[in-house]
Structure 1
């Protein structure tokens, strides 16, 4: 890779560009609907699909749907009979995600829920989820960890986006919320995961940074 080649360009040149369906989703969401470009980056989306293909989860929970870009990748990686529940509080986002999921041909394996995530998660059974992906309100990452950890079965995967140090969250910040507060909340999440006696974790160098954790690793 030459010094002037961006990582995204290099990855696309070696692994192939996104397919026509994904390209159409991004064009419509970002150019026609004028949504902010805060979805998971392309390499991060590929990693999510790969993790799903390798882990073969029966039930995945995604916190933060946006317009469904990551949900499409997760759904594509599911084994036969696998299901994704994706949760977002914004009804316009979930309606758009449902349309894109249908266009991608994966709507049959995805349940889109319009609700407050922590409230919805409280109604799920402990040890019932095989994989969790968190990519939502940054200042709430510690609360999402507290809500999601008991839901993960032993051997489950916990994945969080936007954990790269020095991340810029200004494009995702809610009005009146200090981006530094969001960065501090993510750091709290990372520290808590790192201290967790039942978690083994590693950073994945995607555009925004993924933190992947495996539940029930015993350090003793």
Structure 2
């Protein structure tokens, strides 16, 4: 499978690339292809050190828009405010059967702490905005909102966490759940249709506030 990570030069992109290259071909994206290629070379070197000959996939780099042409799955590791512009461009390049994954969390920091923008400002949840730009809606799913990038990049350890998945098409949800399960210690938990994505997205500012006030490092969510 070919997995494209739009905005893949950040911490989450690095973590996804390192975790999935064990079995899949990962394409790291950036606005500048050269930056993406340099990051991909660094990730690939780290992956070979971690996995050795057991690494069956690869990590390459390309610009954010071009990588969409060859991806079976697109991970949108971009800020909330970039959704309209980026997704409008991606929509003309991505195949109709490409699965689009939104881990995007619309949040901001205030005097009282981190807050969820759709509640505070009356705006739409991130995955809903993505679905409007990258029809059909059925191929869009949301996940990975509460995953620590520090833990994700540490391929030698288990995440020991759950991630909530929201999506309208059971087949698309099932395919993403398979990818989630390939990450050591990460369990996929289906939350419901895409209209419930706000319930997953709002957990991130909650976790950040709890972590800061209680001096917790890289917290996650796990249902017991």
Q: Give the TM-score band, short-chain normalised.
A: 0.3 to 0.5
- TM-score in terms of structure 2 length: 0.44
- TM-score in terms of structure 1 length: 0.45
